[in-house]
């Protein structure tokens, strides 16, 4: 299942006047497994005591939840269901399949997506695999990594093999290894590399038209400038995707004014800048003569500046300058794709040279390259996602949806039964 937003939740409020019903319901909610407890309180009085429970459930589980409450309390309670209000602090429940789980961990390690923003897990999976594949471009190395991933995936999911320590990061993320291995194979096909050897494959040539002027496939070591262009192009596409997601985040939060002057003008300006760079390089005189400079650089810059100035005052000016600088610096950071691709090719050829072409030595060397380069490339790809990409749209200031547990219930019932308890 591909989920582009956190699971839709509803707020639940329950009032009861019977202690036995309260205790039975709390245990039933633990068995239900989909109730995030926010508040529980007990209001004793001379006539009757009132118990109040508030929390969150997935909207799709509403019917099941109401049946459990009715069955447990015999209808001796009052229940109110409410939709969350815009901007309210709502917990985040993610629902991703086994393939996307490792990428969910990458996202959540940076920060939990807010209920009011796009969950970028699917987009991270796509872009992470693409970037990793260009840096790890080798058919043979990608094939071995895919086999390792399939083996780990089967051992972990079918045979329930569990390991501790640093190896748990490998055994818990077999699907990540499979996807990265397959992307490495695709990159190897594009660059015609197999265990460091250049191979001739029946892949049709195609050319990205002006102003980029890039012909594929090619060998990075033989055409470093083509790899330079390709790295910048990948960075431009990735950053543009981030700005488009920024647009949808603003739309979800109903920030319509910011939606226009920030992501729209920012993207407009960015594409204009890219066109000028690819067309005229750093010939600023040619920039000034081009109509693109006025309509796709000066105009969106002015609109973005005025929008930030009118809404954020002095902070808006600083934010505008920071956006311009970060856009350029973030795009340049994607040149690490070129650097690591070249390093990967050089290391593979060094293994071939040292081994004299002996198959066993080449294979052992390939394993060493896969382990070392795989780790380095994973770290650098994660950095590109976290720093260069997430800065364009992702806040990650949400909090995790935690189903109420039996331990939590016992703490509440034993220690806090006579006072309000507010749980985030």
Domain boundaries, the chain: 9-93+401-422, 101-392
pLDDT at 26 over 50: yes
Nearest to 176 by CA among 131, 129, 142, 141: 129
For the ranges 6-15, 23-32, 415-424, the lowest mean pLDDT is seen at 415-424
pLDDT at 377 over 90: yes
Please report which confidence band the pLDDT of residue 1 belongs to, taking 50, 70 and 90 as the band edges: low
pLDDT at 161 over 80: no
Q: Residue range 34-53: average pLDDT?
A: 79
More confident residue, 91 or 424: 91
Position 419 scores a pLDDT of: 47
Position 282 scores a pLDDT of: 87
Q: Residue range 392-397: average pLDDT?
A: 93
pTM: predicted TM-score of the whole model, two decimal places:
0.89
- Superfamily of the domain at 9-93+401-422: ACT domain (3.30.70.260)
Q: Which two tokens stand for residue 237?
A: 């596409």
**pLDDT tens track for 414-423:** 544 444 455 5
Q: How far apart are CA 422 and CA 54, in angstroms?
A: 9
Position 258 scores a pLDDT of: 87
Q: Residue range 174-181: average pLDDT?
A: 92
Position 54 scores a pLDDT of: 92
Q: Residue range 49-59: average pLDDT?
A: 91
For the ranges 121-125, 238-242, 252-256, the lowest mean pLDDT is seen at 252-256
Q: Which residue, chain included where needed, has tokens 């471009």?
A: 137
pLDDT at 46 over 60: no
User: To the nearest whole percent, how much of the chain has pLDDT over 90?
Assistant: 52
Position 274 scores a pLDDT of: 93
Position 411 scores a pLDDT of: 57
């Amino acid at each position: 299942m591909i989920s582009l937003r956190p699971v839709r939740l509803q707020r639940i409020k329950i009032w009861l006047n019977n202690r036995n019903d309260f205790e039975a319901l709390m245990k039933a909610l633990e068995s239900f497994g989909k109730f995030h407890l926010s508040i529980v309180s007990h209001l004793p009085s001379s006539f009757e005591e009132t118990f109040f429970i508030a929390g969150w459930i997935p909207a799709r589980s509403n019917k099941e939840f109401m049946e459990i409450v009715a069955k447990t309390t015999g209808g001796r309670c009052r229940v109110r269901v409410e939709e969350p209000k815009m901007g309210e602090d709502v917990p985040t429940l993610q629902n991703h399949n086994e393939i996307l789980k490792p990428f969910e961990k990458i996202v959540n390690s940076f920060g939990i997506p807010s209920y009011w923003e796009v969950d970028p897990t699917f987009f991270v999976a796509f872009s992470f695999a693409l970037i990793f594949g260009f840096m790890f471009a080798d058919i043979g190395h990608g094939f071995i990594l895919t086999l390792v991933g399939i083996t780990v995936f089967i051992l972990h999911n079918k045979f329930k093999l569990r390991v501790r320590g640093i190896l748990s990061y490998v055994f818990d993320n077999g699907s990540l290894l499979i996807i990265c291995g397959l992307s490495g194979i695709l990159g190897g096909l594009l660059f015609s590399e197999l265990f460091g050897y250049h191979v001739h494959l029946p892949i049709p040539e195609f050319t990205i038209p002006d102003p980029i002027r890039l012909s594929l496939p090619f060998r990075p070591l033989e055409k470093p400038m083509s790899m330079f262009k390709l790295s910048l192009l990948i960075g431009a596409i990735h950053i543009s995707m981030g700005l488009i997601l920024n647009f949808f985040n603003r739309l979800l939060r109903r920030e319509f004014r910011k939606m226009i002057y920030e992501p729209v003008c920012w993207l407009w300006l960015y594409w204009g800048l890219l066109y000028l760079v690819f067309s005229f390089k750093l010939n600023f005189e040619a920039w000034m003569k081009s109509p693109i400079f006025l309509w796709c650089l000066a105009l969106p810059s002015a609109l973005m500046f005025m929008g930030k100035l009118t809404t954020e005052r002095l902070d808006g000016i600083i934010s505008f300058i920071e956006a311009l600088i970060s856009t350029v610096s973030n795009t340049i950071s994607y040149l690490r794709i070129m650097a690591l691709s070249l390093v990967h090719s050089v290391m593979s050829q060094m293994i071939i040279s040292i081994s004299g072409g002996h198959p066993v030595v080449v294979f052992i060397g390939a394993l060493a390259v896969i382990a070392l380069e795989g780790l380095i490339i994973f770290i650098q790809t994660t950095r590109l996602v976290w720093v260069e990409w997430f800065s364009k749209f992702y806040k990650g200031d949400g909090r995790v949806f935690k189903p109420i547990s039996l331990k939590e219930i016992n703490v509440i019932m034993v220690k806090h039964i006579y006072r309000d308890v507010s749980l985030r």
